Amino acid sequence: MNIILFGPPGAGKGTQAKKLQDEFNIPQLSTGDIFRAAIKNETPLGLKVKSILDNGELVPDETVVDLVADELSKEKYDDGYILDGFPRTVAQAEAFDEYLKDNDDTLDAFISLSVPEEELVKRILSRGEGRADDTEEKVKTRLKVYRKETKPVLDHYQKQGKVHEVNGLGTIDEIFNRIKSTLK
Ligand code: ADP
């Protein structure tokens, strides 16, 4: 089963991706987690993307697409995966369509978590993970980038008939149950 978990910053993608991973035994691939680990370990990739993440902007499509294709070729993803944070631009979505085609694979579901903007800001500023991009100013940038670059990804998958809208308000378990019922 191949799933994309989609939504604005602070929608709870990471939290729900981890729960899906445990429930269905398919690995999560979070591009944000990979970039943060690379920054922490000061790898060449980390050095390249640090200032981009710190500013709440997007890593160039080519870097992200190469990274995801590379990662997905690992054996652990053979039986499926949950993408969290990718694709984040229409160009990335198109590249991912190609990737699936080249690998004779298909996308099973695109789950879009919807959460009102005031709630997103509140959640991010109160989660206290110490992320450099979790300041009020950077959150504003991330939301702006989301509206401009990422939201069109939703239309891309709507055209493919893959989108399942899920209300992202409520407890973690309530939201998880909604996701599970859309997957049945
Ligand atoms: P959030 O969804 O809360 O913003 P993520 O962990 O998904 O957090 O992403 C954090 C940052 O990592 C983004 O602001 C961006 O700089 C970078 N990033 C993650 N995924 C992508 C992607 N697919 N394309 C470009 N940049 C990305």
Does the beta carbon of 16 sit less than 6 angstroms from any atom of ligand 1? Answer: no
pLDDT digits (tens, 9 = 90+) for 32-89: 999 999 999 999 999 999 999 999 999 999 999 999 999 999 999 999 999 999 999 9
Instruction: Determine the distance from the C-alpha atom of residue 133 to the mean position of all C-alpha atoms in its chain, rounded to a whole number.
Output: 16
Helices marked H in 25-166 — which ranges?
Answer: 31-40, 44-55, 61-72, 90-102, 117-126, 136-145, 152-158
68 Cα to the center of ligand 1, angstroms:
13
Distance of alpha carbon 38 from alpha carbon 13, whole angstroms: 20
| Predicted confidence (pLDDT) at residue 127 exceeds the cutoff of 90 | no
Average pLDDT for the chain:
96
pLDDT digits (tens, 9 = 90+) for 131-153: 999 999 999 999 999 999 999 99
Does the beta carbon of 31 sit less than 6 angstroms from any atom of ligand 1? Answer: yes
Distance of alpha carbon 56 from alpha carbon 139, whole angstroms: 7
Distance of alpha carbon 152 from alpha carbon 174, whole angstroms: 27
At CA 74, angle to CA 25 and CA 23, rounded to 5?
10
37 Cα to the center of ligand 1, angstroms:
13
Does the beta carbon of 168 sit less than 6 angstroms from any atom of ligand 1? Answer: no
Domains plus CATH for the chain?
Answer: 2-176 (3.40.50.300)
pLDDT value at residue 22: 97
85 Cα to the center of ligand 1, angstroms:
6
3-class state of residue 1 by DSSP = coil
Nearest C-alpha neighbor of 139 from the set 115, 120, 114, 116: 120
Distance of alpha carbon 92 from alpha carbon 66, whole angstroms: 10
Distance of alpha carbon 68 from alpha carbon 95, whole angstroms: 10
Q: CA 83, 155, 166, 125 torsion: positive or negative?
A: positive
Q: What are the beta bridge partners of residue 64? A: none
Distance of CA 3 to CAs 39, 86, 168, Å?
A: 26, 11, 17
